[in-house]
Amino acid sequence: MTEQSPEPIPHLGGSLARIESDLGNPTRLGIVASLKNRDKAEFKLLRDSLGVSDSVLSRHISALEKVGLVAVRKGYVGKRPRTWVSITPEGGTRLDAHIQALRELAGGGADQQ
């Protein structure tokens, strides 16, 4: 077996370093990304979009709130309690960096923008 010069693999160490562990869970990625281009979203809309239970969604949203990726506001529409979730400015920046890092990992390297 002769040793041809192996085709180099793009350097992915930097991409790995920019992955956001807080967005590693796909449901959390879905929650934050859904909030990206909207002012806010109602809890039940997110729940129905993702097809998860109230308790699962609550758990994810609390975790995302704790690390500053989303903000939660509670209020009423008429007499009915409502919960709205919105992405924070920090959340937007970190989401973009995470998606870019995923793109690099999935597409074979930072140089191939």
* 3-state SS, one letter per residue, for 63-90: HHHHCCCEEEEEEEECCEEEEEEEECHH
Contact range with a second copy by CB under 8 A, out of 47-55, 63-71, 86-94? 47-55
Q: Which of 59, 66, 68, 107 binds a second copy (CB under 8 A)?
A: 107
User: Please, what is the minimum distance in Å from the beta carbon of residue 89 to a second copy?
Assistant: 18
Query: Helix, strand, coil shares of the chain as percentages rounded to 5?
Result: 50, 15, 35
Identity of the amino acid at 112: Q
User: Please, what is the minimum distance in Å from the beta carbon of residue 47 to a second copy?
Assistant: 10
Size of residue set near a second copy by CB under 8 A: 46
Residue 10 backbone class (left: φ over 0; alpha: ψ -120 to 50; beta: rest):
beta
Q: Which of 22, 49, 62, 93 binds a second copy (CB under 8 A)?
A: 49
CB 99 within 8 A of CB 57: no
| Residues making contact with a second copy (CB under 8 A) | 1-3, 6-16, 19, 24, 26-27, 29-30, 33-34, 36-38, 41-42, 45-46, 48-52, 75-78, 95, 99, 101-102, 105-108
